[in-house]
Amino acid sequence: MLLKGGLLATNAVKSLMKPASMRFTATASNVKTAILMLNMGGPQHTDQVHEYLLRIMTDRDMIQLPVQSQLGPWIAQRRTPEVQKKYKEIGGGSPILKWTDLQGELMCKELDRISPETAPHKHYVGFRYVNPLTEDTLVQIEKEAPERVVLFSQYPQYSCATSGSSFNSIFAHYQQHSLPKNTRFSVIDRWSTHPLLIKTFADRIREELKKFGETKRNDVVILFTAHSLPLKAVNRGDPYPSEVGASVHLVMQELGKSNPYTLAWQSKVGPLPWLAPATDDTIRAYVKQGRKNFILVPIAFVNEHIETLHELDIEYCDELAKEVGVEEIRRAAAPNDHPLFIKALSSIVAEHLNDKQTVNPKFLMRCPMCVNPRCRDSKDWYRQVCA
């Protein structure tokens, strides 16, 4: 029943085993353009799970809890064994660092080729909740003194809980440190509709569609799935749901609207209302309506991690599918090292480096109902820094 699209053991991943000095075109002393790839990260070993959860549960951009300084650590402690078990079931840790490093390496190689005037380029990884932490990587970048730093969110669709939290953490870092002299900063905050990102997702779906028998191929439900968000955040005006919807719409247009499709939301935690319908409820409901063949498409994740490898592959494609009587279910791989995706990353950065606009005006605007003073101060800071 379980048919996964996640492919980890590629030659490209094996190339990560090469020593770091051989992986980069740029060396510490001659970096012209630094590209800081921002993401939440994931524990590489189960002994990092507690610290990872603690950072999430105490991040008020990500989650707001009553008496957070006490409740956050308590929830982190309580959830650690259950989350550790999940990481054990996917091989002991998150592959997100390996994928991001590989994507960065390939992106910079391509950038050196297509944008020699801004070369050498070097990628850096800045995670929000686990090593390499964004604030530590910023210190490393400062030492290497590039001419330019591009802060590149690896969340294609912008949410204040994810991308916003990463950008706010950079602002927080520079409240404690002075900005490096002679380095220009700029921001790539969202790219949910970039044509090459859309083509990548469409190709990932085609790869899986081909594996269905011809008689049912056109009836397969393409079920796009993205991490859910508390309704409180949606009602503040968080742009994430509409940006996810835009990606879905364009991917289906790219596929010539070949199949029935829908969008559902996964990974809800806690008792408060979140964006619905949930991905598992959607599979259950469609099976009841007589639709029994699916491709799950993680539309908001650019590389494999726990939500794809455990929640989608194990909990839904295997356990739930058996329970509710799904006929065939497959999961489209995340973009990972798809050549079109590497082109997407390098084109997005090259277009940005060529653009006079160093920051998107939308990024400088707060959600209409935002009451977080950190967002206000952070946006003011970016307005000046990226001027």
Q: What's the length of the chain?
A: 387
CB of 323 to ligand FES, least distance (A): 38
CB of 190 to ligand FES, least distance (A): 13
Residue number, 131 or 360, with CB nearest to ligand FES: 360
Phi, psi angle pair for 37, to nearest 5°: -90, 115
Residue number, 159 or 293, with CB nearest to ligand FES: 159
CB of 240 to ligand FES, least distance (A): 10
Two structure tokens written together for 235: 């009602």
Q: Using alpha carbons only, give the angle 150, 154, 156 rounded to the nearest 5 degrees.
A: 110
CB of 125 to ligand FES, least distance (A): 25
Residue number, 160 or 275, with CB nearest to ligand FES: 160
Judge whether 340 and 199 are in contact, CB under 8 Å: yes
DSSP 124-150: EEEESSSSSBHHHHHHHHHHH--SEEE
Which one, of 96, 44, 53, 99, lies nearest residue 77 by Cα?
53
Please state whether beta strands 148-153 and 33-39 pair in parallel, antiparallel, or not at all (unpaired): parallel
Residue number, 193 or 372, with CB nearest to ligand FES: 372
Omega of the bond leading into 120 within 30 degrees of 0 (cis): yes
Interface with ligand FES (CB under 6 A)? 160, 164, 236, 238, 366-367, 370, 372, 375
CB of 230 to ligand FES, least distance (A): 11
CB of 93 to ligand FES, least distance (A): 31
Residue number, 183 or 372, with CB nearest to ligand FES: 372
Judge whether 128 and 165 are in contact, CB under 8 Å: yes
CA dist., res. 98 & res. 262, Å (int): 31
| Three-state DSSP state, 206 | helix
CB of 378 to ligand FES, least distance (A): 9
Two structure tokens written together for 281: 């409820």
Which one, of 97, 244, 109, lies nearest residue 163 by Cα?
244
> To which H or E segment does residue 18 belong?
none
CB of 380 to ligand FES, least distance (A): 12
Residues 6+ apart with CB under 8 A from 321: 1, 2, 283, 329
Residue number, 203 or 238, with CB nearest to ligand FES: 238
Residue number, 184 or 366, with CB nearest to ligand FES: 366
Residue number, 99 or 158, with CB nearest to ligand FES: 158
